[in-house]
Amino acid sequence: MNVFEFRNLLNSEDRKEKRKNFSRSLIKSVDTGANGTLDYIVKNGSGKNKIAKTKQ
């Protein structure tokens, strides 16, 4: 491997690392159950006003 190939390899690795860090910074944390998506309450039927165990 000559010096030119070695420099290109290092530059490509640096670009990959920068791209990974950039995409990680775009990910935002999410509050679980923030908009009522965690515990569903049954509105009608025999189990009215109970928390549903499984999503339907």
- Kindly report, residue by residue over 9-50, the tens digit of the pLDDT: 999 999 999 999 888 888 777 766 666 667 777 888 888 888
Q: Which domain holds residue 10?
A: 1-30
Q: How confident is the model at residue 55 (pLDDT cuts 50, 70, 90)?
A: low
Number of domains in the chain: 1
Domain membership of residue 2 (yes or no) is: yes
Domain membership of residue 7 (yes or no) is: yes
Contact at 8 Å (CB) between 40 and 53? no
Contact at 8 Å (CB) between 27 and 15? no
Domain membership of residue 35 (yes or no) is: no
* Model confidence, pTM: 0.43
